[in-house]
Chains A and B, each alone.
Chain A
């Protein structure tokens, strides 16, 4: 079964600095999708970025980018120029062939002014 591990329950970053959130996963599949979701306090979960496993190029969305290492089964999220609005719970997720999503336990990011 696929599992997703986020080894950092909490992270903290200074405003305008860069932070990297870690995620590893375990799978025997070769074709899959990976996602990072953001859940702000008392607000809905939204998609931050997605990565297709067959693409070698790392996905980028404005200040958010990923470091996808397929062989190592690693999918980290880098947030550049951190803003106060980036404070949230971040979930790494893996989408299986059966169309269900496997989530990690989450990393709570605090942004200090």
Chain B
């Protein structure tokens, strides 16, 4: 079974702090994704990566950056956390670029910025 893990289930940070969210997948997937999930808005794509050291902006990249130094690991960075970044963050991975490939999701990190 594909396993996608995220470093924390719950995280509380202060405004202005630098925040790192880590995601690891164990199935050698090429693609990895970061979403944020907000009530009434569904999931919105922040960034995705289709290869090591490659990244593409999603719909809402402002205030975020990402890092993919190894194939299995994809990090989301909040350079200076703000209260409007309080949300559930979901990481996902998929095998390749074919549209048929499903995305496998991690359990999510619920981030609260105070």
Contact = CB atoms under 8 A, between A and B. Distances in A.
B50 A99 contact: yes
A98 B41 CA distance: 21
A35 B102 contact: yes
B100 A106 contact: no
B74 interface: no
Interface residues of A, number: 27
Contacts of B100: 33, 50, 52
Interface stretch (A14-22, A41-49, A69-77): A41-49
- Counting from the closest, the 9 A-B pairs by CB-CB distance are A103-B42, A45-B105, A103-B43, A105-B42, A33-B99, A47-B102, A95-B99, A44-B107, A99-B97
Interface of A: 4, 6, 9, 31-33, 35, 37, 43-47, 50, 52, 91, 93, 95-97, 99-101, 103-106
